[in-house]
Structures are given as C-alpha cells and as structure tokens.
Structure 1
Amino acid sequence: MPSEASRMETIREKVEAGQRLSFDDGIALEESNDLFALGSMANLVRERYNGNFGYFNVNTHINPTNVCVYTCDFCAFRADLNDPRAYVMNQEQIVERARQAHERGATELHIVGGLHHKLPFEYYVDVVRWIREAAPEIHIKAYTAVEIEFFAKIARLSVEEILKRLIEAGLGSLPGGGAEIFHPEVRAEICGAKASTETWLNVHRTAHRLGLNSNATMLYGHIDKARHRIDHMIRLRELQDETKGFQTFIPLAFHPDNSRMDELPKPSGVMDLKTMAISRLMLDNFPHIKAYWVMLGIKTAQVALSFGADDIDGTVVHEKIYHEAGAETPQEVTVAEIQRLITEAGRIPVERDTLYHRVEREGGQWASREHIDVVALSGVGK
C-alpha cells in the first residue's frame, strides 16, 4: 500500500493539473493528518477560482415558524404545536422585518423554518409575496428542498408547480439546507422521516431547470464518517455536472446543545478546517465555498479563507436555528467588522449579492450591482 506521503503527492499532482479527484482520493484526504498540506492544496484551487477576494453580503434571516412535524435528532430549533416556545409570524411581523432589512441596506432575506402541519401552502406563498411587496429590491432566498417537498404534499401539487407558484410570488433562489448527510446509513438515523436524498436532489434539479440558482450544504461532525462525507460531495458534484445550478457549498458544523444528540462533542477546529479544504478539493465544479461564521465561529471562519473558503456569508440578523443549538457567535456583525476580518486574513473584501454580483454603495444603500467574474468551471475536472 502506498505511504500517506506518496498518496498525498499523487493527489497534489492531480490538483495542480486541474484533474478531478476520485472517491478514493477523498478518503485519502480524510485520512491525512497533514492539515497544512490540505490547506495548501485547497488554497491553490480557491485562488485559481476566486483570486484573492473574500466575499460577504448584507442579509437578514426570517424563520416564519418553529413548529415542525419532523423530529430530527440534531435539531434544537423545532417545537411542537402546544410548546410554549412555538410561534408563527404574521403578515405585520414579516413585513416589518423586511422593512427593517431594507433600511439596513440588506440585499438578501434568507427564509427557512419549521414544517407547520396546520398552515396551508398559501401562507408560505404569502410570506414571499408580503416581502416582495414591502421590499421589492431585496432578493428572496427561501425554503429548503425539505420544505418544498412538504409544500408539495400538503398542497397536492408537483414540486415544479410549487416552485412556479413561489417564483411568481417573488422567490429568487433556494438555500441549501436539509441536505444533512445523503448516505442512507446516517440519514436514516438522524433524520429518517424528512425528504430523502433523491427528493432533495430532485428539488434542486427542478429548481435549476426553472432558472433558479441554489446552494448546497452538508452537516458534519456528528455520527458521520469519512466515507459518508465524500459520498455526499460526489453526489452534489454529479448533479452540478448535470445542471450547473449550484452557486455555493456550505459545510455546516454540527452543534449538539439542546438537541437529542447533545451527548456528542462539537467538531474540533481541525475538523472544521479539514472539511473546508476537502470540500474545495472535491467540489471542483462549485464556484464558491462558504465558511459560515455563525456555526464555525468568527476566528475559524477567518482561517478558513486560507483553507478553501472564499466567502464568509453576511451580517446575519435574527438567526435562530443554530443559536438555539448552542452557537455562541453573535446574532449580527457589522459590515465594517466583516471587512476587517477578511482584510486581516489577507483577502480583499468584496460585498456581493445573493447571485454574486458585486455591490457598490452610496450613502449606505446599494447603487449598482455588477457581475463578479470567476473562472469558468465548465472544463475543470472533466
């Protein structure tokens, strides 16, 4: 069997040549203890695609309800219908949140929440419509594939019809949540009742066909193993080959507090950076890799900008889901602080909107949006 050093040297040669890494290569990367070699290779790819830029956006989160029919073991956000914590936001609250976001100069509203079995599909359409009418300039990134599948069930419509209704109301793109881990060994244990892997992938396939871009995620650091994570990335890579509709991949660090898996430790800083680097190396057809500071912590997100990540997300106001699970990060950071963090990491801060247009501002409000050129990935890793 080749030594770790020889395996890593072979992988480095493939990375430098722009060749696609295999499942076995991914496992070799997972088994390596040479964190700096992983970071070096990931940084090479990161700079090949995105130069020295570090992207961020100004955004606000809305979680319309925390009532959910599913009981995923890792989730600390959900509530039963009669739980004292249960809530449903009404039109006035949604509109006020949208207006506040607009006044702050936000370019994006990120909307995800529970699957409330007593609310009709029209409520979820109305949330999008209320926001579009209150703040027409803001991009609406709303509803995970799990939510879309749930809407299709309660409305007795196809996924395509659900997406078309939401697009008509003002939907601009899909977030990447609900992917968790695709491999059935893990998915069946931590979230077996929710949308299957095939359903999640098909929702995004359909969204891409209808002209929507989307993100993708992976929840790591719980009961998952190396083979599960690499399998997850390859499934995403295959769909991206087919549709080219994914913009960003976000590795999400597991937060155990207040969940049914609270006996497990959080992922270590080493695992966070290793997963970030491997994501950049395996997902050769994804334009961007995001270090979501809310889950990673600000310091780790900074370092991740040298381990494959080119984006650290945004100002993030009113985030509930991961803070319910014990995230100790602040609810919000300022634009000035994000710019400082990126600059300290040796990158050039660039504000972007959801679709990766550069945002130029005058007097706190955006004045223009220009498309950010990244390396064309159509020939990478083929």
Structure 2
Amino acid sequence: MNDLDVKRINSLVSEPELKQIGHKIISGERVSPAEGILLFEKGSLSWLGALANYVREKMHGDKTYFNRNFHIEPTNICVFSCNFCSYSKLYAHKEEGWELTIDQMLDIVRKYDGQPVTEVHIVGGVHPKLTLAFFAELLSAIKTYRPNLHIKGFTPVELDYMFRKAKVSVEDGMKLLQNAGLDSLPGGGAEIFSPEIREKICADKVDGNGWLYIHKVAHQLGMHSNATMLYGHIENYGHRIDHMEQLRNLQDETGGFNTFIPLKFRNKDNEMSYLPESSIVEDMKMYAVARLYMDNFPHLKAYWPMLGRNNAQLSLSFGVNDIDGTIDDSTKIYSMAGSEEQNPSMSTSQLVQLIRQVKRHPVERDTLYQEIRDYSLSV
C-alpha cells in the first residue's frame, strides 16, 4: 500500500482519535483495549473495512485459505445446559440425542478412504459415560487406520470434564491424548470470558481461566490450537475487547494459536431465542475489529456455513483470510443452530469458485496452514 492509499483510508474518518488509531495500525503498532472499544463504538464500516483489508493484505496478500476436512460428532448428549445452545440434549433426555460407538465413528473415517481429506474435527456434547479412556481409544484407532490424518479434537469444555472425571491433571490428561493421537485443539467453548456474562449464559461449564489454561498446556506440549468468541448476544463491546485481550496476551506468551474465529450467536431453538441476531453490518465490523486487534494471530477465519456463502465472500474484504473447509459431512452443529446453510457441504471446486468470484486467491492448506495446492490458475 502506498502513501496515497494510506491517505485515502484516513480520509474516511474525521475524528482525530480515529485518525490516530488508523496511523498506529498502518505503522504496525498495537491497538490498546480503550482504542479497541473506540473502534467498535465510532469506527465506520467503510473505514474499519479498509484498515482490516490493509492488514489482511499486508499479512497474506490475496490468499484465502481452505482445507478438506470432515467432522465427527460423538454425541449431542450433554451434562451442561448453555442457554445459547441449540445442539445438545441434556442427559436426562438422552433418548432424544445420539451417541456413537468407536466402530461407528471409524465407519465415518472409512467413508473418506481414497479421498484427499487432511483433517478430522472431533467435537460434541459432554456425555458422562464417554470417558478419557474412551476417547484415547478412539484417537488411537483413527491413527492406526489412517496415520496421516490430522486429528483436531475436543474443546476445553469436553477436556475439563474428561480430566476431572478421570481424576488426572490437565497436563497428564493432555499428554495422554497427545500420545493417543490428538494433534491440535479447535477453538470452541470459549464463548465470552467475562465471568458476569458467562454466569448468565453458560454458568456450569469450565470458566475462561480454565479454557485459557488448557490451551496454554496444549501449546507447551507443542500442539497448536484455534480460538473463538461468541458474539452478538448479551455482551457489550468491552466484553469483546476483554476476551480478545486475554487471547492476545496468551498468544504473546506461547505463540500457539493458529487462527481466531468470531462466532455469530444464532437464536434458533434455544433459551436465548428472544434476542435478535446481529446485523450483517455488525458482523463485518466484528471481523474487521478482530483483524485489527488480534495483531499476533496469523489468521482470521469465517465459518461459511454460519454466515452463508455470500456473506462469507463479503467477509474477505473485512480482514478474513480463511473460510474453513469443505465440511463434507453436513455437520449438525451448524444446521441445528440456525445457520444460513442447512446442508453445509461444498466441493473443492465450489469453494475455489466462491473465493475467485471476489477476486481472491484460493489456496488449499492443511490444519497448520502449510500450503497443499495453489488454485490461482486451475481447479
């Protein structure tokens, strides 16, 4: 970006404090928490988008990443009752849910024999009878069957329960799962770290400090992970910035996070259905501020099934450089939450075309963002 482009971005705002923040960002300086809140409160969408796109292109150019992945959801039966959840069934009503055996989950893996998928994503409810030993056996079985398949599995909500049930420390539990075949952690279960918000929407599961500690231990073991934030419900901008600040601080310490994923609250079939969902303007503002604030996170991801295909394309102009994967199994977590895509599955050629339509550069990656194939010239 040349000096004229910088002047053009700053011409989009008149407030001196915003111009100052803009200069900091363009100069590569870190945004403070107070400045982050100001971005949300006073930044216009056009200015935030221009700044976020500047940062995105400085980091990645026009590259937009995706991967070939599939999901295994062992169960939707759960001992916890999160008010925003449309997915799980309480254990008292377990007959309404599902619970897969190890053989059934291996059958899902076998469906992809001969296909160039690189990742299986394992996440689900917290079932009291699915133990640490059970999941270690599952991981080992998958690795025995397909050794090169990257296993990204289990949120700290699941892990915390497994470890407490097995009476093992976080350190010992993570080592056990890593030795069994776990390669990395997804970003789920973070919601909002603020205790006052967590008390109202997910009071009975692992708290923010516990979530952060499990990821810290994973990083210390050489594992990478992702991080999420649930936005657009009862939180305010201060809560969002506090959440991102805690993640940014841990990333400064460990460097183990791959990507940050803002997750839009959906109000279908849950105890918070009375709340309106955030607008597309607010969604794009969230992505833009995330890209500007999370300066030490290499990647910013938008889940295309949650946003819908057109909005996912739009997000690529607001700091996003990853739109997740092919998700060939039509994962139930998305559709049951009221996502824009009720059958969230796209072929590789469809994903490539989606990215090309908005003049971006499709690149297939693995879980750790090693490039597998550049699709700039061919499908």
TM-score normalised to the size of structure 2?
0.92
Residue by residue over 1:260-295, the C-alpha shift from the partner in whole angstroms, topping out at 9 and shown as x without a partner, is 111112221111110000000000000000011111
Q: Which residue of 2 aligns with 1:358?
A: 371
Match among 353, 360, 366 for residue 340 of structure 1: 353
Equivalent pair of 2:157/2:206 in contact (CA under 8 Å):
yes
**Structure 1 residue 35 corresponds to structure 2 residue 28:** no
Residue by residue over 1:236-264, the C-alpha shift from the partner in whole angstroms, topping out at 9 and shown as x without a partner, is 00000000000000000111101111111
Q: Which residue of 2 aligns with 1:122?
A: 133
**Structure 1 residue 165 corresponds to structure 2 residue 176:** yes
Q: Which runs of 4+ in 1 moved over 6 A?
A: none
Structure 2 unpaired stretches of 5+: 1-12, 375-379
Q: Does 85-94 or 335-344 show the bigger shift?
A: 85-94
**Structure 1 residue 16 corresponds to structure 2 residue 29:** no
Q: Which residue of 2 aligns with 1:325?
A: 337
Measured in 1, the distance between the counterparts of 2:288 and 2:247 equals 16
SS in 1 for 2:52: helix
Q: Which residue of 1 aligns with 2:200?
A: 189
Aligned pairs, number = 359
Measured in 2, the distance between the counterparts of 1:103 and 1:111 equals 20
Measured in 2, the distance between the counterparts of 1:99 and 1:105 equals 12
Identity of aligned residues (%): 46
Q: Which residue of 2 aligns with 1:49?
A: 59
Residue by residue over 1:296-350, the C-alpha shift from the partner in whole angstroms, topping out at 9 and shown as x without a partner, is 1111111111100000000013311121111130320111111011111211100
Letter of the structure 2 residue corresponding to residue 339 of structure 1:
V
| 1:122 to partner: Cα distance | 1.2
Measured in 2, the distance between the counterparts of 1:328 and 1:83 equals 27
Q: Which residue of 1 aligns with 2:187?
A: 176
Equivalent pair of 1:59/1:101 in contact (CA under 8 Å):
no
Equivalent pair of 2:262/2:302 in contact (CA under 8 Å):
yes
Match among 264, 268, 275 for residue 257 of structure 1: 268
Q: Which residue of 1 aligns with 2:124?
A: 113
Measured in 1, the distance between the counterparts of 2:142 and 2:277 equals 36
SS in 2 for 1:84: helix
| 1:102 to partner: Cα distance | 4.0
Q: Which residue of 2 aligns with 1:131?
A: 142
Measured in 2, the distance between the counterparts of 1:334 and 1:317 equals 8
**Structure 1 residue 89 corresponds to structure 2 residue 100:** yes
SS in 1 for 2:24: helix
| 1:217 to partner: Cα distance | 0.2
Letter of the structure 1 residue corresponding to residue 294 of structure 2:
L
Q: Which residue of 1 aligns with 2:223?
A: 212
Measured in 2, the distance between the counterparts of 1:191 and 1:234 equals 21
Q: Which residue of 1 aligns with 2:73?
A: 63
Structure 1 unpaired stretches of 5+: 362-382
**Structure 1 residue 25 corresponds to structure 2 residue 38:** no
Cα–Cα, structure 1 residues 204 and 242, in superposed 2: closer, same or farther, change >3 Å?
same
Alignment of 1:218-229 (within 5 A): 218-229=229-240
Alignment of 1:366-381 (within 5 A): none
SS in 2 for 1:8: helix
Equivalent pair of 1:38/1:278 in contact (CA under 8 Å):
yes
Residue by residue over 1:56-81, the C-alpha shift from the partner in whole angstroms, topping out at 9 and shown as x without a partner, is 00100111011111000001111133
TM-score normalised to the size of structure 1?
0.91
SS in 1 for 2:200: helix
Note the aligned Cα RMSD (angstroms).
1.4
Cα–Cα, structure 1 residues 119 and 47, in superposed 2: closer, same or farther, change >3 Å?
same
Letter of the structure 1 residue corresponding to residue 247 of structure 2:
L
Letter of the structure 1 residue corresponding to residue 138 of structure 2:
V
Equivalent pair of 2:18/2:43 in contact (CA under 8 Å):
no
SS in 1 for 2:350: helix
Q: Which residue of 2 aligns with 1:148?
A: 159
Measured in 2, the distance between the counterparts of 1:256 and 1:36 equals 28
Letter of the structure 2 residue corresponding to residue 45 of structure 1:
V
